[in-house]
């Protein structure tokens, strides 16, 4: 929340390889959600209540383009996905 991506739906996220990364998911609608980065083998627990927060913290080790998404059934198909760019 805050900064250049505040209010942007599925913003493209960019980090450098070797950086420590923290991505927070703030549940603004009260529907169950999570945040998964399948290409990096990372996933948050489900957040179920409005204003609930969960986060992923990891070191971005390998350069590449990774998809992040909500893995709750039907949510990805509804457009809940974006890209994480890890640059050298």
- Tell me the pLDDT tens digit for each residue of 7-60: 888 999 999 999 999 999 999 899 999 999 999 999 999 999 999 999 999 999
- Quick one: DSSP state of residue 41? T
All structural domains of the chain: 14-87 (2.60.40.420)
pLDDT digits (tens, 9 = 90+) for 75-87: 999 999 999 999 9
- DSSP code string of 54-84: EEEEEE--S-EEEEEE--STTTTTTT-EEEE
Residue 5 in this model has a pLDDT that exceeds 90? no
Residue 68 in this model has a pLDDT that exceeds 90? yes
Residue 60: count other Cβ atoms within 10 Å of its Cβ: 21
Residue 70 in this model has a pLDDT that exceeds 70? yes
8 A C-beta contact, residue 32 and residue 54? no
């Amino acid at each position: 929340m805050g900064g250049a991506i505040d209010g942007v739906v599925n913003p493209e996220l960019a980090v450098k390889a070797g950086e420590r990364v923290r991505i927070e998911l703030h549940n603004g609608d009260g529907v169950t959600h999570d945040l998964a980065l399948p290409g990096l083998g990372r996933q948050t627990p489900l957040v179920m209540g409005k204003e609930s927060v969960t986060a992923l913290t990891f070191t971005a080790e390998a350069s590449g383009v990774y998809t992040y998404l909500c893995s709750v059934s039907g949510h990805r198909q509804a457009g809940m996905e974006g890209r994480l760019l890890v640059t050298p």
